[in-house]
Amino acid sequence: MLLRLPTSVSEARECVAEGIVPIGGATLLWATWQRDGFPEQAMSLRELPEANVIGRETLGAAVVLHRIDDRVPEVLRAAAATIGTGAVRRTASVGGNLVGSSLRCLLPAALVLRARATVLDADGVQETGLAEAMEAKGSVLLSLRWNAPAASAYRKLPGDAGGPPPLVVASALHTDGAGHHLLHVAVRDGYDVRDADADCGTGAATALDTLRATAAFGDLPAEAWDIVHEQTTRLLGDAGLA
């Protein structure tokens, strides 16, 4: 297998146009390739500057998980820190987790940040919604971008080896230029990820009632709802909105 390492967007675009298989850290692909055979060529973005950014409002798809630090919001940092073992986090990438993994452990955090995706396809660099980027064929995720939240929280319950994915609850409090507050919450229950938001102008109790009334959270398991309640109360209380 020939591994292509583009150092510019134009080089990466050529690889996409040629249909070369993109890989992240290959932590999940390697076993599949050993079983089914390796492609003739693959492409890694680890040398592409646009895919290696880390900042308050951006994160590159080629960034390996152990590099995610306090430059990004707490919810995203905490999510990355709970994925796999230290050895996995030194290899697995943001893009591989979101696009190449059925677990998509970073997805709840990205959803509550209201992240947008920058992707590369045969037509060039485009910005699109996160869901579209994860499902699109013939494009490669370059980075995520979001507006920094006022505060955020993350909790992942312990899981059993070989069992279903553990429960995850992520939340972020957003404030616009006019001082309007919006809480966004996401829950991963098994392989299902659901999210909803609520206006926070009249306090935590009203925000929780709003979340409970949404189609996404109306049948939320009690264990998950308890964590949603705790995070909502804490984030709004710390912000003086309780």
Record the pTM.
Answer: 0.91
Is CATH 3.30.310.10 correct for 2-145? Answer: no
Query: For residues 95 and 61, is the Cβ–Cβ distance under 8 A?
Result: yes
Higher-pLDDT residue of 100, 81: 81
Q: Which parts of the chain fold into alpha helices (H)?
A: 9-17, 29-36, 74-81, 86-89, 94-99, 107-112, 130-135, 204-213, 222-238
Distance CA 108, CA 82 (A): 13
Averaged over 105-117, what is the pLDDT? 96
What is the reported pLDDT for 146? 97
What rounded mean pLDDT belongs to the chain?
90
Q: How do residues 141-176 score in pLDDT, each as one tens digit?
A: 999 999 999 999 999 999 877 778 999 999 999 998
What is the reported pLDDT for 107? 96
What is the reported pLDDT for 71? 96
Averaged over 31-38, what is the pLDDT? 64
Higher-pLDDT residue of 102, 205: 205
